[in-house]
Amino acid sequence: MTSDTVRSAPARRRRLRPAQRRTALVTWANTAAMAVVALAFTFPFIWMFFSALKPENEVFSPRPTFIGSEIRWQNFADAWTLVPFGRFIFNGFLVATLGALLSVIVAVLSAYAFSRLRFAFRDRLFLLFVLTLVLPQEVLVVPLFIMMNQLGLVDSYFALIVPFAFTAFGTFLMRQFFLTIPIEYEEAARIDGASRFRTLRSVLPQLTAPLSVLAVFSFIGYYNSYLWPLIIINSQELATVPLGLSMFTGEHGTQWSLVMAASTLAVIPSLIIVALLQRQLIKGVALGGFGGR
């Protein structure tokens, strides 16, 4: 090693230090920004939890504080027993799980048809199908209720689950992912004599991430739905979580401490689902569903 090389090494390290400082500064700034955004999103849930532990008259005190004059864990027990809230969570979880499963099945089959099968007016039909996304739920509930009433399905799990499983969002999302998979794999399977359904099953392992994203979105949509269950459900035995939360409001006002406690309990199933599918959700969102060819 020459003396020029030895002398140039410290100089090269000195030239890299400003760049390294800038990289560290950018990394720190990005981390701080993400922490602020995360805090902004989680703050309502933090406030909800601490409000659930306050006495009733301190939930909306003139000087709001995180901790009340006493910590009342009894609010959770009261919220659980004042109304059959355990039943509401069970109904919500059952409806959301079956609804998400049905939504995924419908989305996969229809997306495969729109992306792989060739039939007349395929693209125009798909465009018409996607345009149904602009229709608000308020427009659909009246004809859906009339149909469910004529079929004798009012106040049933069927009416809660089936009508909103056939939406264009899942079909659009899955179709875009199908388009990113080379069709040569399926053509090779078809040459070997595989049926359409067997070919579809062979492709599904490559779509685990987007399927997880669609399942979680569908689960949360069903679990948090309020308008349709309010219209179609008459009995307390089939009420879901949003309907159960509304029962804490009566003619004498709203018991806000119990509402906060019940809301905290209601969030737990969604948190469990998201935690279990966290890796697949991150992968699915990172891949994105808007590519194609």
Q: Candidates 3.40.50.300, 1.10.240.10, 1.10.3720.10, 3.40.710.10; correct CATH number of 82-287? A: 1.10.3720.10
- Domain assignments of the chain as residue spans, ordered by start: 3-52, 82-287
What would the two tokens of residue 134 be? 């602009």
Contact 258, 73 (CB under 8 A): no
Contact 115, 179 (CB under 8 A): yes
Q: How many DSSP H helices and E strands does the chain contain? A: 14, 2
Which residue spans within the chain are E strands per DSSP? 249-250, 253-254
Tell me how far apart the alpha carbons of residues 213 and 103 are, in angstroms, rounded to a whole number. Answer: 12
Tally of CB atoms within 10 A around 122: 13
What would the two tokens of residue 281 be? 């959700």
pLDDT at 251: 61
Tally of CB atoms within 10 A around 31: 10
SS3 label, residue 29: helix
Q: Which amino acid is at 75?
A: N
Closest CA to 86 of 272, 268, 232: 268
SS3 label, residue 250: strand
Per-residue CA distances from 132 to 135, 139, 169 (Å): 6, 11, 9
Question: Per-block average pLDDT, block size 10, for the chain (293 residues)?
Answer: 50 58 82 90 90 86 80 90 91 94 94 87 90 87 92 93 90 87 79 80 83 90 93 92 87 80 90 82 63 41
pLDDT at 8: 52
What would the two tokens of residue 68 be? 């009340």
Tell me how far apart the alpha carbons of residues 225 and 232 are, in angstroms, rounded to a whole number. Answer: 12
Euclidean distance between the first and the last CA atom of the chain, given in angstroms as a whole number: 54
Quote the distance between the C-alpha of residue 118 and its chain's center. 32
pLDDT at 99: 95
Please state the pTM of the whole predicted model. 0.81
Q: At what angle do helices 85-116 and 208-224 cross, to 10 degrees?
A: 140
Tell me how far apart the alpha carbons of residues 293 and 198 are, in angstroms, rounded to a whole number. Answer: 24
Tell me how far apart the alpha carbons of residues 145 and 136 are, in angstroms, rounded to a whole number. Answer: 15
The three-point CA angle 132-138-140 to 5° equals 50
